[in-house]
Structure 1
Amino acid sequence: MVAVSAPLVSVIVPNYNYARTLRLCLAALREQTHRPVEVIVVDDGSTDDSAAVAESFPGVRVLRTPVNSGPSVARNLGAEAATGEILMFVDSDVALAPDAVATAVAILRDEPGVGAVCGNYDTVPLIDGTFTKDYRNLYRHWYFRAAEGSITGFLSTAILAVPTRVWAQVGPFNPRLTQSEGADVSERLTDRYEVRMTTRVIGRHDDDATLRVALGKVFTRTRVHIPFFLHRRRVVGVVTSAESGTGLASWLAAASTPLPLLAGPAWAAVPLLLLALWLLSDARMYRYVRAVRGPGYTLRFAGLHLLVSLTIGVGVAVGLVQWLLSRRFRRLYEEQPAVAA
């Protein structure tokens, strides 16, 4: 019986000023059970010692962009330089579990209809820190866990394995997009292949430590997805994508808060009922959080989640106004990068 050699996997790590986590990311790649692995770090104009950290790991190939150009440009540069049969995009703030690459390869090998494998974040952050960081990490673990299986409409680019032949058909990332490139590529991928989300491919992630930064990212990512969904005529996606599919009730609860002052105390029931509806719509998530963190943590989690949900509402509103007023914003997704026929 002729032995089949394991495919070369090119792991592409885009990085911008993440020297601390990059070291942990590369150390985890060194411990992968799958061999052979080609590691390409694309340093996107970092001003810290990221490039030196990458160069300190034997065998790691380091590429540089002349100026900071965003993760889409960095990932494309790495993909162009890769020589493997499978491309695996891994963000520099993620440390993969030792079997992550091997598991992704096995799924792509055993299920030919699967054109991409997205991994999940562990429930435990890569670096211990603030409650905001822990909330963000646990919430996104739940979000991806709930979506496990075939996915459409979004794509997690933090842990993403794609055969090179498939990437030749659906890539590259749109270089103009820095926060919504996953949704853009997802559409081209799911037109031709199944995209699989799985917690079997997992890594520990270092999320945003401060509330200001976290909410800023939530707002921006929501806002810039508006032209994608409206351009594709996917209006439902405006309120179901972003980071929560149950935000509408919380937005209405906030909007109806002045009712008791305007129409009398009895109207206080309206925002309270809407808030209860918002909580009930995510009951499965809260049960899960309670099981892994306890009731006290769950109360704090729900409070921060409400703040995030309201931030998403602001992002939707601003994005819709920008869509109406800015022709350039409306055309953000009209020009696509060239892909193979």
Structure 2
Amino acid sequence: MEPLRPLVTVIVPNYNHARFLPLCLQAIKEQTYSPMEIVVVDDHSTDESVRIAESMGVNVIRTPANGGAAVARNTGAAWASGDILFFVDSDVALAPDAVAVGVALLEKDPNLGAACGIEDPEPLIRSTRVEDYRALQHHYWSIASEGEVSFLWSAMFAIRAAVFAEVGPFNPRLRYTEEVDYGHRLSRRHTVLITSAIHGRMGHDRELGTLLRKLFHRGRLRVPLYARRRKFAQGYETASRAWGSVAALLAVAALPLPLVFGPVATAVPALLLAASLACDAGMYRFVFSRRCPLFGVFFAGVHFLVNLVIIAGVAAGAAQWFLSGRFRGIYEAPAPAALPAGG
């Protein structure tokens, strides 16, 4: 007689992802693991998300107002009865064995706090080249970080319910950086692993402006956390990539030099651009090995712009950190309790 396997609660936080939700839920229903329960926590969507989820026969909890991903995840955890929680964002379609692999990793290593997955290099639904850019860029940065990290990949991860209760809920005051904060808190007590053994396809922003706004705020809101802890997260955000953003900014700042010092000064912005590209040379080799040269040039151009936006966000965050005591303390306040189940 086989031993009873732990119940897994799959928690799907959702806000206006009706475009992806059917693929996400169908992939969960096709998981090879059992026993399993599914709950969608709809964070006050204005699209057809609730109707879609209910039509697919899953449990749906609605939040009374849009509180952000942290609130949605906490609400799902409060509702869950599983021994293991598997969080998956509503724009992710898991590989069929993702839950089984997550459970196996947690059972194999009692010191493992969370097992996080890596999204595939192809977007879940492709409609623009911006989605292709983001899928490849995010995949490569994640793969390059594979192993032990202090940064939580919150799009898909497995965690014991007891560990979640021990560490406490996501801080519902945070948007854009709640997973960075949670990863720091979790990794102080337990190992956090990111692995390509858990994977799935992810939906990405279709429009460049939407992506850039998101990255700007993520850069801005990391400043008080890293200033307080005096170090970057382990994995993903490397010193080399930080210097790549700085070099991109300096390259733009150096553009007027030829007007002052003549054509010889053209070499300065060119060298700074080359330095920015060299800081993430592995990513560019990866992209050019998979896609045509024309797309590679497009990718490099978009990523240069992304570097500028990230450094602008960090600069804005630094200014806000100096000017606002409230901003400096956003990670220090104790996280309020999760919304009650069924709230």
TM-score (norm 2): 0.93
2:18 aligns to what?
19
C-alpha distance in 1 between matches for 2:184 and 2:6: 27
C-alpha distance in 1 between matches for 2:238 and 2:324: 22
User: Displacement of 1:44 after TM fit?
Assistant: 0.6
Can you list the C-alpha shifts for 1:239-287, whole angstroms capped at 9, x where unaligned?
A: 9469944322212212222222233322221111111111122111111
Is the Cα–Cα contact under 8 Å of residues 34 and 101 in structure 1 kept in the other structure?
Answer: yes
User: Displacement of 1:233 after TM fit?
Assistant: 2.3
Which amino acid in the other structure matches residue 307 of structure 1? L
Equivalent residue runs for 1:1-341 within 5 Å: 3-58=2-57, 60-152=58-150, 154-234=151-231, 240=237, 244-245=241-242, 246-337=244-335
Aligned-residue identity in percent: 50
Question: Secondary structure of the equivalent of 1:197?
Answer: strand
Is the Cα–Cα contact under 8 Å of residues 83 and 161 in structure 2 kept in the other structure?
Answer: yes
1:142 to 1:243, Cα distance in 2 relative to 1, 3 A: farther
User: Displacement of 1:71 after TM fit?
Assistant: 0.7
Question: Secondary structure of the equivalent of 1:213?
Answer: helix
Is the Cα–Cα contact under 8 Å of residues 222 and 242 in structure 1 kept in the other structure?
Answer: no
User: Displacement of 1:121 after TM fit?
Assistant: 0.8
Structure 2, gaps ≥5 residues long? 338-343
Is the Cα–Cα contact under 8 Å of residues 249 and 311 in structure 2 kept in the other structure?
Answer: yes
Is the Cα–Cα contact under 8 Å of residues 241 and 279 in structure 2 kept in the other structure?
Answer: no
Bigger RCO of structures 1 and 2 (CA < 8 A, at least 6 apart): 2
* 4+ residue runs over 6 A deviation: none
CA RMSD, Structure 1 to Structure 2 (Å)? 1.9
User: Displacement of 1:56 after TM fit?
Assistant: 1.1
Question: Secondary structure of the equivalent of 1:19?
Answer: coil
Is the Cα–Cα contact under 8 Å of residues 133 and 208 in structure 1 kept in the other structure?
Answer: yes
Is the Cα–Cα contact under 8 Å of residues 43 and 68 in structure 2 kept in the other structure?
Answer: yes
User: Displacement of 1:42 after TM fit?
Assistant: 0.5
Can you list the C-alpha shifts for 1:197-247, whole angstroms capped at 9, x where unaligned?
A: 01111111110000110111111111111111112223799x946994432
C-alpha distance in 2 between matches for 1:271 and 1:305: 17
1:240 to 1:271, Cα distance in 2 relative to 1, 3 A: farther
Count of aligned pairs between the two proteins: 335
1:185 to 1:303, Cα distance in 2 relative to 1, 3 A: same
C-alpha distance in 1 between matches for 2:241 and 2:97: 30
C-alpha distance in 1 between matches for 2:72 and 2:306: 29
User: Displacement of 1:75 after TM fit?
Assistant: 0.5
TM-score (norm 1): 0.94
C-alpha distance in 2 between matches for 1:283 and 1:233: 27
C-alpha distance in 1 between matches for 2:317 and 2:249: 15
Question: Secondary structure of the equivalent of 1:179?
Answer: coil
C-alpha distance in 1 between matches for 2:265 and 2:232: 31
User: Displacement of 1:187 after TM fit?
Assistant: 1.0
Which amino acid in the other structure matches residue 3 of structure 2? V
Question: Secondary structure of the equivalent of 1:20?
Answer: coil
User: Displacement of 1:337 after TM fit?
Assistant: 2.0
Which amino acid in the other structure matches residue 292 of structure 1? R
Question: Secondary structure of the equivalent of 1:257?
Answer: coil
C-alpha distance in 1 between matches for 2:239 and 2:8: 31
1:235 to 1:92, Cα distance in 2 relative to 1, 3 A: closer
Can you list the C-alpha shifts for 1:136-195, whole angstroms capped at 9, x where unaligned?
A: 11110001000000012x211111111111111112000000110111111111111111
C-alpha distance in 2 between matches for 1:159 and 1:332: 25
